[in-house]
Structure 1
């Protein structure tokens, strides 16, 4: 009995669907990032215009200093917010790509398992060791893939945790820096 092979047209269609599905996910992430960048430029220009209109009316050096120091806090907060949104877009896109890759891997693994099972049924006597080795290799590959996937997820979680920690520290530092010059100016 001969081993069955998949229909070439079905394989090509599945591969094209996979390619365009993957490409679609990547472009969705790129679109979100482009929209975020446009939004950041718009808000930066609006804030710059607002701040520039305040500057000519400032005659007292303490007012000028307070105006300058008042700009650093919002800038730092906006920068942190932008970084958070970029990280969220990247994380979401990465999660979607991982989910897509997992589905592709599971389909491929099922085909390999079916092939090995069919080969085992049709194998000549004495080939049990070779079939067992093949099954063992397939199992080891599955275990490796799962380990790599878990490691990747842990790396993303660690990066997010580190980002949150750095963002919180930077935000506190920016608030302190914003308040310090004003407080120093009122003491003198």
Structure 2
């Protein structure tokens, strides 16, 4: 039976720490999302109760239609605000997880390079080509990882700018629609 070396134990601890770090960030994001959803449900219920009491106080159909039209503008703005907050939680969580992944990848890459260097020192004569191939593969993997990470960051930035533009356009349309809602003068015809 073989016992694990201190290096193996340290590597296992590092891997567990990395796992729990990423899991912690994911759960933090989930907690924020749950808190946001609870807040939205609470506010929606309060507004629904208020709107029902307003509608029950109306006596004329025209007043009911005016009230109903008045509900849509704030609803659209609140939906946009909610979408923005969900997007912010998602992008923040993604960035934190990516940062942890990058740090863990860097540590892992350093360990692999140290292993290859150690293997190169102990390798028999004539194995230089294999060592060069290993180093080349590690360099290619590192380049691929960095390229994928940069591409992912650019995709998040593009998505965020597109979301900002869409949100601004939708908010403008919602404000425009609320401004055009019919207004009653209180006169009966």
- Alpha-carbon separation, structure 1, partners of 2:73 and 2:181: 12
Q: Which residue of structure 2 lines up, in the alignment, with residue 126 of structure 1?
A: 126
1:10-49 superposed matches below 5 A: 10-49=10-49
Change (3 A) 1:163 1:93: same
* Structure 1 residue ranges (4+ consecutive) displaced by more than 4 angstroms after TM superposition: none
Q: Tell me the alpha carbon deviations over residues 17-37 of structure 1, each in whole angstroms, 9 at most, x when there is no partner.
A: 222112111111111010000
Check conservation: 1:25, 1:93, Cα contact below 8 A.
Answer: yes
- Alpha-carbon separation, structure 2, partners of 1:119 and 1:170: 60
- Structure 1 residue 8: Cα displacement: 2.5
Q: Which residue of structure 2 lines up, in the alignment, with residue 85 of structure 1?
A: 85
Q: Which residue of structure 2 lines up, in the alignment, with residue 182 of structure 1?
A: 182
Check conservation: 1:76, 1:171, Cα contact below 8 A.
Answer: yes
1:18-167 superposed matches below 5 A: 18-167=18-167
- Structure 1 residue 58: Cα displacement: 2.3
What stretches of structure 2 of length at least 5 have no aligned partner?
Answer: none
Task: Give the secondary structure class of the aligned counterpart of 1:125.
Answer: coil
- Structure 1 residue 6: Cα displacement: 5.9
Check conservation: 1:65, 1:181, Cα contact below 8 A.
Answer: no
What is the number of equivalent residue pairs in this alignment? 181
What stretches of structure 1 of length at least 5 have no aligned partner?
Answer: none
- Root mean square deviation, CA, Å: 1.7
- Alpha-carbon separation, structure 1, partners of 2:32 and 2:158: 23
Q: Tell me the alpha carbon deviations over residues 77-96 of structure 1, each in whole angstroms, 9 at most, x when there is no partner.
A: 11011101100111011001
